[in-house]
Amino acid sequence: MAFVDTPETQKANRRFIRNAMNIPLLERDEEQELATAWRDNGDENALHKLVTPYMRLVISTATRYRSYGLPIGDLVQEGNIGLMQAAAKFEPEREVRFSTYATWWIRSSMQEYVLRNWSIVRTGTTAAQKSLFFNLRRLRARIEDGSGVLTDANRQEIATCLNVPLRDVLMMEGRMSGSDRSLNTPVGENGESEWQDFLADDSADPEEQVMGGHDSAVRHRWIETAVSELNPREQTIIRKRRLSEDGQTLEVLGQDLGISKERVRQIEQEAMKKLKNALQRQAGDSRVMSLLPA
């Protein structure tokens, strides 16, 4: 997807960036004092003084993700969310600089935003796929031979480097080389057709649907005839174990029938043999296994 900032937005972004970059950084002791005041006392003034100097971290990180076609203003907003999350979870006593701790949260928040908005199709649902998404361009630029085309060996090298399957590299390469396209996009010289007109339909055609419905009805009739030859207890077990959507367990059926679950299993086995014989008489040996309930 492509996003375009208006001139007014671009001007506001430049002003915001200029102001943020002029804010002096904090000394370690002051940073620790502000973080403690925010965590222990909920001092919002201390929170403001803590996070404001590190807006430059947000801006610096946002510039790294501009190549994905998203407005820098939106990236900065997402980075601010990460910065606030870092402030909420920061533990001053660990003797870690807040900027070091916040960097991970800022980057993570922006990456999630990029993955949600770069395409209408969800991209990078696992940690490995996210790593592939954000590193594929860098690795590609480093290892390709200048032709602009990855070889099979190049793709395998990327897969090994990022510890992902080769198929994931192929999938991500295809996703990142194209763009989202509406199924209603006009195609052809006169634009009389749409993109969706050229997509293959994998569903059964009308003739296959009719034949499938006919075969299903015949199978159902054969099975019902075969089941009717069983005694009442066998019918109960077969219907509840084999012919229901949620088959009952041997233990539950045993309790209902007042017998042990082992006895239910024995009756079920005998009933299945009878069913097989009854279906053989109707359909022949070659089709029995496909007719028997699983």
Mean model confidence pLDDT for the chain: 80
For 22-62, the pLDDT digits (tens) are: 888 888 888 889 999 999 998 999 999 999 999 999 998 99
User: pTM of this prediction?
Assistant: 0.50
Which residues are paired to 187 by β-bridges?
193
For 112-159, the pLDDT digits (tens) are: 888 887 765 555 566 766 777 777 777 776 766 555 567 778 788 888
For 231-269, the pLDDT digits (tens) are: 999 999 988 888 887 888 899 889 988 999 999 999 999
How many other CB atoms sit within 10 Å of the CB of residue 273?
A: 10
DSSP 233-290: HHHHHHHHHTSSSSPPPHHHHHHHHTS-HHHHHHHHHHHHHHHHHHHHHHH-GGGHHH
Q: What is the pLDDT of residue 138?
A: 72
Between residues 195 and 74, the one the model is more confident about: 74
The residue extents of the domains of the chain are: 1-118, 122-199, 206-291
Question: At 194, phi and psi to the nearest 5?
Answer: -115, 160
Q: What is the pLDDT of residue 179?
A: 54
Cβ atoms of 176 and 168 within 8 Å: the answer is no
- DSSP H helices, the chain, are 7-21, 28-41, 44-51, 55-64, 72-89, 98-117, 127-143, 152-162, 166-177, 206-227, 232-241, 250-257, 261-283, 288-291
pLDDT of residue 83 exceeding 90? yes
Q: What is the pLDDT of residue 2?
A: 47
Q: What is the pLDDT of residue 125?
A: 60
Helix (H, G, I), strand (E, B) or coil at 67: helix
Q: What's the rounded Cα separation, in Å, for the pair 27 and 140?
A: 40
Q: What is the pLDDT of residue 4?
A: 55
pLDDT of residue 217 exceeding 50? yes
Question: At 125, phi and psi to the nearest 5?
Answer: -90, -10
Between residues 219 and 198, the one the model is more confident about: 219
Residues making up the chain, counted from first to last: 294
Share of the chain above pLDDT 90, in %: 21
For 1-118, CATH number?
1.10.601.10
Helix (H, G, I), strand (E, B) or coil at 122: coil
Residue among 77, 73, 70, 61 nearest 10 (CA): 73
DSSP summary character for residue 24: P
Locate 74 and state its tokens.
């939106």
Q: What is the pLDDT of residue 44?
A: 92
Q: What is the pLDDT of residue 103?
A: 92
- CA 100 from centroid of its chain's CA atoms: 30
For the 206-291 domain, the top CATH level (class) is mainly alpha
**Among 103-112, 126-135, 212-221, where is mean pLDDT lowest?**
126-135
Q: How confident is the model at residue 294 (pLDDT cuts 50, 70, 90)?
A: low
Q: What's the rounded Cα separation, in Å, for the pair 253 and 260?
A: 9
Residue labelled with tokens 């080769």: 166
